[in-house]
Structure 1
Amino acid sequence: MSRAFVNEDQAADQANQPVERRISEQPNHVTAQGLTLLKQRVSELETLRSTLLGDPDKQRLAEVERDLRYFSARVQSAQVAAPATSQSKVQIGSRVVFVDEEGHQHEVQLVGEDQAYAASGLINWGSPLGRALLGAAPGDEVLWRRPAGDQLIEVVAIEPQA
């Protein structure tokens, strides 16, 4: 179809639509708390969408609807991991204390990707660090494959999920 036959208003509206949020290919394993947070986010977005329905700012409404589609899909695909109760093997939900090659001690918790926030020590189980730690036991040395270079780390302790 020739561009001459395209409705310019419709084309402009389509150009202003927010880009859909990409949904990860990895299984959506979440902690029970992670699922609660996802459901809470859906509820907040539904409330916000209701308040924006009469608002002339269609761009903001489109962004909220995009996020609502994303988080609703994440709730639907969520696979809640059994609570991490083991102190002998790292699981999703475990808090892990490890030492890096420089002798620095770190503490992280393995969580689902939507709950991950590295600055708070919440690490996606499917990230390079999460994959290195998953299944490890205290005393194990595991290889953390990082973009900045591989690093050998030692698991010091595993705390069950709180």
Structure 2
Amino acid sequence: MSRAFVNEDNAADQADPPVERQVSQQPNRLTAQGLAQLQAKVAQLQQEHSAESAKGEHADKQRQADLERDLRYFNQRVQSAQVVAPATSSEKVQIGSWVTFANDQDEQQRIQLVGEDQADANAGLINWGSPLGLALLGAQVGDEVLWKRPVGDQLIEVLRIEPEA
């Protein structure tokens, strides 16, 4: 039978289930702020799901399925969260630390090491488990560490470590 003759309402009910979101294999270590963001995301998704479900038979089934998938993912991330103690030291880079480093051309960059779900490179929030995060984790001011980048390894020097704000 041609798709041209399929009832659109039935087609919507038979929509393919959304592909599950992949959960990272790295431990879910994050800051207290990162956990609060995850909890806020779960609350937002629950509210959206309730609003969609309240539409009854007029609900967008695909949207509901997508929201349910996202709720499963973010609930799992909240349950697996390992909140680290706030970075209070300027002696050693840890999750939550703000780090200023320079490359061999003396170009400086300031970033904060955060959990995976909190990471936003444009805002300077770098996943602690990324190549840059792993290179910096545990370093001290003056240390030179090797940042293993896909475009080629780069030696960087830790210039400043600031505790979590």
TM-score normalised to the size of structure 1? Answer: 0.91
Q: Please list every run of 5 or more consecutive structure 1 residues that lacks an aligned counterpart in the other structure.
A: 1-8
**Aligned with residue 108 of structure 1, among 107, 111, 117:** 111
Deviations 1:12-69 (A, max 9, x none): 83x6211100000000001000000000000000000000112431001111111111
1:34-49 equivalent positions in 2, closer than 5 A: 34-49=34-49
- Alignment of 1:29 with 2:38, yes or no, is no
1:101-140 equivalent positions in 2, closer than 5 A: 101-140=104-143
Q: Please list every run of 5 or more consecutive structure 2 residues that lacks an aligned counterpart in the other structure.
A: 1-9
Cross-structure match for 1:58: 61
Supply the distance in 2 between the matched residues of 1:64 and 1:121 (Cα, whole angstroms): 29
Cross-structure match for 2:4: none
Supply the distance in 1 between the matched residues of 2:52 and 2:30 (Cα, whole angstroms): 30
Moved more, 136-145 or 52-61: 52-61
Secondary structure of the structure 1 residue equivalent to 2:109: strand
Supply the distance in 1 between the matched residues of 2:16 and 2:37 (Cα, whole angstroms): 29
Residue 100 of structure 1 deviates from its aligned partner by 1.0
Supply the distance in 1 between the matched residues of 2:63 and 2:114 (Cα, whole angstroms): 30
Cross-structure match for 2:5: none
Residue 102 of structure 1 deviates from its aligned partner by 1.6
- Count residues with an aligned counterpart: 152
Secondary structure of the structure 2 residue equivalent to 1:84: coil
Residue 116 of structure 1 deviates from its aligned partner by 0.1
Supply the distance in 2 between the matched residues of 1:22 and 1:74 (Cα, whole angstroms): 11
Cross-structure match for 1:96: 99
Letter in 2 for 1:136: A
Q: Percent identity?
A: 62
Deviations 1:91-138 (A, max 9, x none): 000000000122100000000000000000000000000000000000
